[in-house]
Amino acid sequence: MPMTQAEAGLPALDAQGVSKRFGAVVALRDAALTVRRGEVVALMGANGAGKSTFVKILTGALRRDGGDVRIRGQDTHLASPAGARAAGLIPVYQEPSLIRDLDVADNLRLGRTPADPFLHWVRELGIPDLRLDDRAGDLPLATLRVLDLARALAAEPDVLMLDEMTAALPTDLVERVLRVVRGQADGGRAVIYISHRFAEIAQICDRATVLRDGATVGDLPIEPGVEDRVVELMLGAALTPAAARDGGPRAMTGEPRLHVRGLSSGARLADVSFDLHRGEVLGVVALEGQGQDELFEVLAGQRRASGGTIEIEGRPQRFRHPADAIAAGLSFVPGDRADALLMVRSVRENIALPILAPLRRWGAIPMRTEGARVASAIERLQIDTRAQGEVRRLSGGNQQKVTIGRWVAGEVRTLLLFDPTRGIDVRTKRQIYGLVRDLADQGASILYYTSELPEIPQACDRVVVIFNGRVVEILDVAEATEERLMRAAYGLTSPEGRRAVAGAGRA
C-alpha cells in the first residue's frame, strides 16, 4: 500500500490506554501495544490477563470503552472486523475460518482473495499440492491454518495479527511459517505475534509486550534471558511462597489407581504419562490448548486415543463411550457446566442421572434410597436448593456443585475435574477445595486441571505440567511455586523438562 511521507515515520499500529469492562468485571484497564513497520512484536499474558479482549478490540470484534487506537497515525474506531480489515489490519485466528462446505476456490471468492498471490503463499508455506476444488472440510487442520495465513498474506496487510499460529502444525510447517512471518516484517510490514512458545518468540520477534490484569506491564526487547523477565512480569509482584495447606503431601506407595503411558490423541495431545494414586489429588497445569482438553476427554471416554495406554488398578482399559469410563470408575466433570447439566430439570434428577443410566436401572426407581442419596449430596456440597425445580435457575457456583454432586452421590473412585472453579465465587471455590481434600482423604483419586495457579497449593498433592501435548514437569506441591509452574507451562523447565521439549522437535 502506498504511503505518504508523514505516515512513514509513524507506528503501523499504536494502541494506548485501552480499557474495557463487562458489567462489573474490568477486563482491560490500561492496555497498550505499539508495532512499527519491520517489526514482529510478541503479545504475551497469562490466562485471564485480558489478551483475548485486547485482540478482539484491535480486530474490531469488540468496542473499547476508552483509550486510543491509531493505525498509521490515524485515530481509528474499529467498529467492526470489516472496519479493521479496511484499515489494513488482518488477523489469523486459532480456529480455521474457511467455510467447511465450500471448496477452496469458493472460499477465496467469498473473501475476495486474489488466487495468484494466494497460491504463491501456499507454496511458499510448504503445501505444494493444494487443489482449489478441494472442499475445505476435507483438508486437515494444519493445512486449513496455513491456508488462513496464505489468505491473510495475499491481502497484503499493513499489520498482520497471528494468534497461536503454530499450534497444531507439524514441525516442518512451523519452520516455514516462522520464516515467512519474519520475511513479512523484513519486507516492511508489522506483525503482532501471539504465542505461548518462547522458542519461537526468540527466533522471530523483536520485542515482547506483556499484559497482566488488564494492563500492559512491560515492553521488552528480545535478548538472551528475556524469558525470566517475561515470566516475572506475567506473575507480577505476587511472588509470595505458596500458603500450603495443613499436612504435607503423603507418601504415595503401592500400585497407582490410574496409570497413563504415552497417551496421544488428535493434533494436540502428543505424549502424556503419569500415575495417579489412591487418596491423591494430582494437579494439571497447562496454558490454553496444550492438550489438556483432549487428555480429559480421552480419560472420560469422550474421545478416542490414537496411542498410548490407560490402566486402572493394573488393568488396561479402552473406552468407547463415557459409560465405559464410568464403569471403570472414572467420573468426569467438564469445564463447561452447560455441557454437563440438564438445565430444565431438577437438582434431584441431575444428581441421580448417572445412577439410572445403565440398562438394569431402567425399572422402578427406589425413590426413598434415591431421595436419601441426593439429600446427602446436597448436604455435603451445601447446595443452595431454594430453586431446585430447575437447575438453570441456580447460581453458577451451585450449578457446579450439582455437577460434582452427581458423582459424590455415588461411590466415587477417580474424579476428573476440569477447571471446576472457573467463573465462580471465592466462597464456593473454598468449598470445592475442601470437598476435593475430603474425597481424597476418603481414598478417592482426583485429577484436577485448573487455569488458576494459586489453586494448586490449596487443593493438590502433586502437579503435572503439560506443554505442547507432553508432560514437561512433575512436581510435589511443596516445590511448585507459581514461578516454577509458570516457567514450566511456557516450556522453560529443568534439564529433564528441557529434554522433553527438545524431544518435541522444536527449536
Angstrom distance (rounded) from CA 126 to CA 169: 11
Three cell numbers, residue 4? 505518504
Q: How many C-beta neighbours within 10 Å does residue 120 have?
A: 14
Of 74 and 369, CB closest to another protein = 369
Three cell numbers, residue 42? 510478541
Distance of closest approach, residue 390 Cβ to another protein, in angstroms: 9
Distance of closest approach, residue 60 Cβ to another protein, in angstroms: 32
Element (H, E) at 212: strand 207-212
Distance of closest approach, residue 445 Cβ to another protein, in angstroms: 19
Of 365 and 502, CB closest to another protein = 365
Of 88 and 405, CB closest to another protein = 405
CB distance 412 to 403 below 8 Å:
no
Distance of closest approach, residue 421 Cβ to another protein, in angstroms: 19
Of 247 and 363, CB closest to another protein = 363
Angstrom distance (rounded) from CA 174 to CA 506: 9
Of 116 and 362, CB closest to another protein = 362
Distance of closest approach, residue 303 Cβ to another protein, in angstroms: 12
Angstrom distance (rounded) from CA 477 to CA 480: 5
Sheet arrangement for strand 269-276 = 315-317, 307-312, 258-265, 269-276, 470-476, 462-467, 281-286, 445-449, 414-418, 330-333
For the chain, what is the radius of gyration of the CA atoms?
Answer: 25
Of 64 and 406, CB closest to another protein = 406
Distance of closest approach, residue 463 Cβ to another protein, in angstroms: 26
Element (H, E) at 262: strand 258-265
Residues binding another protein (CB under 8 A) = 300, 302, 321-323, 326-327, 332, 334, 338-345, 349, 352-354, 356-359, 361-365, 367, 406
SS3 260: strand
Distance of closest approach, residue 394 Cβ to another protein, in angstroms: 15
Of 7 and 349, CB closest to another protein = 349
Angstrom distance (rounded) from CA 383 to CA 375: 10
Q: Which residue has the cell 430439570?
A: 345
